[in-house]
Amino acid sequence: MEPLVHRDARDEFPRSILYQIVFFTMRAAISPLPAAWVLEKSMDGRAYDAWQYFAADDTECRERFGLPAYTANYIFKSDTEVICSTQFSSLDPLENGEINLSIISGRPSEMITSPELQNFTLARYVRIRLLRMQSAEAQCSVAHVETSSYTTLKGWTVTNLAMSEHIVPTKDNDTGFLVFGMFEMPETEAVYWKAPEGYLGNLLRSYGSQLTFKMDWITVRGDTSGKPTVGPSLILVGRNGMKIAYGEESYEETGGATITVPLKEDSWYHVPRTVKDIITRLRRTEYHGDPVTRSQFMAVLTDVEVVLLRGTYHTDQVESVLEQADLFSGSHSTTDSSATSSGFIELCECPEGYRGTSCEQCAFGYVRIYETSVTHERIGRCIPCSMCNGHAASCDLETGECGLCLHNTVGTNCERCLPGFYGNATLGRPDDCKRCACPLESPSNNFSPNCQSRGGSSDPSEYVCTQCPEGYTGDHCEFGNTEGWRCERCKTGYWGVPDDGCEPCSCSELGALENVCDVTTGQCICKPRYGGRRCDECDVGYGNLDLDCPACACNVNGSVSTVCNVVSGQCECNVGTEGIHCDRCREEFFGLSDEQPGACEAIEIVLGNIGIHQRNNSILGLAVDSHQR
């Protein structure tokens, strides 16, 4: 904003001071930003012209101002165009909302400053005319939270106020306490104990409770000029960038103290970012900033990133000893009566996009973003993951990736239904994708693993099962393999128990007369010489499917029986016989012929006075005088 002196040619002195206004900032305190309002300018304080209109939606823009609604990054048609914007009329955030509006951004003469634009931005008076405030329906009541406490001595480190150094303390083997030697950080006067993860995060359940810790300190023995120090007893750093503190006592006695810090905004104060250490000569006003409001305190408790416990209490201190640190939640009280704190923890009805006892978390399908305010604080708000079609709990706005797709959806943006489900996943409802019923959802009566919405139909409930098994037809595989008034028997060409499902006969084309079978046993009608349920093997007394099941014709003397293998036609031969019909003697055997129909006998050879019955070829080839008898 630049002041301009407006002179009248007849006057020696200026009549008024005008301002060239190019940027406007407005910040709410403990309420939402207004819903409908007008930013106006005037040269005389009586007649005002609109710079810009603001409303919640397009309907309100048209009804109140007769203009269509526009959001961010609008390109103006002229240097003096006045529009209605919906960018700054959201109920979110409920507190500490901020508007940063450029009067000239997006206008044709933004870079060259035309006379029209100069006159448009010229004003002596600026007025905000409120037409409608936000009507947040969220109400808060008392939350009944179970009392609990958390304590541990694991994971603590020692640091300075700027958190530029981190040193792991030693553990006293006798007491189990944590001990830190001040010589390890010689350039730091005020050391702090940094709490581990269990003390961090969402501490809203601890609002109205307390954090209690017991600290010992060892000083140099003998007469010294040292003295007790002062400084914050407890410092909390929120993810929103706020650093707040409580306490500034000095302890005249040496040894130690049990310090209880109430987790309520009373007596808490901001610590300026410029304070890197609390040195002895530092005045109280240099680290003690403005008081902390309730909304600021709750904003820090929503997500605490750092908890610091005071570790320095004397200028001649040589050791700092942490004995215990207890974080309480629920209805713990700093007094004997728990009634004074039991009503501190709130339970709120949250607006869309928020959840939690104090609406401090993002609801399903929303993600938190942080914006930097004019006070350099990070203000968080929840915005919808619009790219995920309402089927992912959260998302990454930078990469555009959705979290785990739920509601039976799949895809980069959860835009498709899983196999076995049908519907339009882009409608944004939990029931967008429904299970295929082909014809029923029950696994025992769901015969198609996949289905899809019927093309060209406006009814999302219409679908077609795409993989009906053989014998099942219809859009939903509803026409199966049974018949009768009560579907009590299998259709022709099928067999089995109807309640369990009828199977196709599947009769062999080679051995069956037709593809028809007994509806109960499944036995097909076989051609002569064929057998088996499906007529896919030779009947008893026949064998060798490749030759159309001829009769076995097993040799009555050379085979064990007259039955052969139904597939290969091989007869089972006696000892010494071979062949598919067992109709010839093996080598070294004789006696099976038309002239000698008896069984095959082994050849007998005589060597000298020794008689040997040849049972194998081991003696053949000997050059001896032998004779056969």
Output the DSSP codes for 111-180: TT--HHHHHHTEESEEEEEEEE-------EEE-----EEEE--SS-EEE-TT---EEPPEE-TTT--EEE
- Mean pLDDT across 272-279: 79
- Mean pLDDT across 586-614: 68
- Mean pLDDT across 572-578: 90
Confidence of residue 224 (pLDDT cuts 50, 70, 90): low
Confidence of residue 535 (pLDDT cuts 50, 70, 90): very high
- Mean pLDDT across 197-224: 89
Per-residue pLDDT tens for 300-326? 999 999 999 999 999 888 999 999 999
Pairing of strands 84-85, 48-54: parallel
Phi and psi torsions of 502, nearest 5°: -90, 135
Query: What does the pLDDT read at residue 481?
Result: 80
d(CA 143, CA 158): 36
Range with the largest mean pLDDT of 257-266, 459-468, 484-493, 562-571: 257-266
d(CA 424, CA 433): 7
User: What is each CA distance from 402 to 32, 178, 193, 223, in whole angstroms?
Assistant: 30, 44, 39, 67
Per-residue pLDDT tens for 145-183? 678 899 999 999 999 998 999 999 999 999 999 999 999
Query: What does the pLDDT read at residue 333?
Result: 40
- Mean pLDDT across 199-209: 92
Query: What does the pLDDT read at residue 339?
Result: 39
Residue 374 clears pLDDT 90, i.e. is over it: no
- Higher per-residue pLDDT: 299 or 181: 181
Lowest-pLDDT choice from 72-76, 370-374, 527-531: 370-374
Q: Where are the alpha helices (DSSP H) in 324-364?
A: none
Query: What does the pLDDT read at residue 297?
Result: 92
- Mean pLDDT across 5-20: 56
Query: What does the pLDDT read at residue 381?
Result: 78
d(CA 246, CA 401): 42
Confidence of residue 213 (pLDDT cuts 50, 70, 90): very high
Confidence of residue 274 (pLDDT cuts 50, 70, 90): confident
- Mean pLDDT across 387-410: 90
Residue 622 clears pLDDT 60, i.e. is over it: no
Query: What does the pLDDT read at residue 607?
Result: 52
Query: What does the pLDDT read at residue 612?
Result: 45
The pLDDT mean for the chain works out to 83
Q: Tokens 């930078």, residue?
A: 398
Phi and psi torsions of 601, nearest 5°: -115, 155
Query: What does the pLDDT read at residue 143?
Result: 67
pTM check: above 0.75: no
What residues have CB less than 8 Å from 111, skipping those under 6 apart? none
Per-residue pLDDT tens for 325-353? 999 987 544 344 343 444 577 788 888 88
- Mean pLDDT across 437-449: 85
d(CA 408, CA 424): 11
Chain-centroid distance, C-alpha 434: 21
Instruction: Reduce the secondary structure of 8-56 to three states and give it as a string.
Output: CCCCCCCCEEEEECCEEEEECCCCCCCCEEEEEEECCCCCEEEEEEECC
Residue 243 clears pLDDT 70, i.e. is over it: yes
Lowest-pLDDT choice from 133-137, 248-252, 258-262, 424-428: 133-137
- List the structure tokens of 245: 């503190």
- Mean pLDDT across 101-110: 88
Residue 266 clears pLDDT 50, i.e. is over it: yes
Go through the domains of the chain in sequence order and give each one's CATH number.
Answer: 19-133 (2.60.120.260), 145-331 (2.60.120), 352-431 (2.10.25.10), 543-602 (2.170.300.10)
- List the structure tokens of 123: 């004003």
Residue 7 clears pLDDT 50, i.e. is over it: no
Lowest-pLDDT choice from 27-41, 191-205, 357-371, 469-483: 469-483
- Higher per-residue pLDDT: 377 or 286: 286
- Mean pLDDT across 196-202: 95
Query: What does the pLDDT read at residue 133?
Result: 78
Query: What does the pLDDT read at residue 625?
Result: 39
Residue 129 clears pLDDT 50, i.e. is over it: yes
Residue 406's nearest CA partner among 425, 379, 424, 387 is 425
Residue 131 clears pLDDT 70, i.e. is over it: yes
Q: Which residues of 131-157 are buried (b: 16+ CB within 10 A; e: fewer)?
A: eeebeeeeeeeebebeeeeeeeeeebb
Residue 109 clears pLDDT 60, i.e. is over it: yes
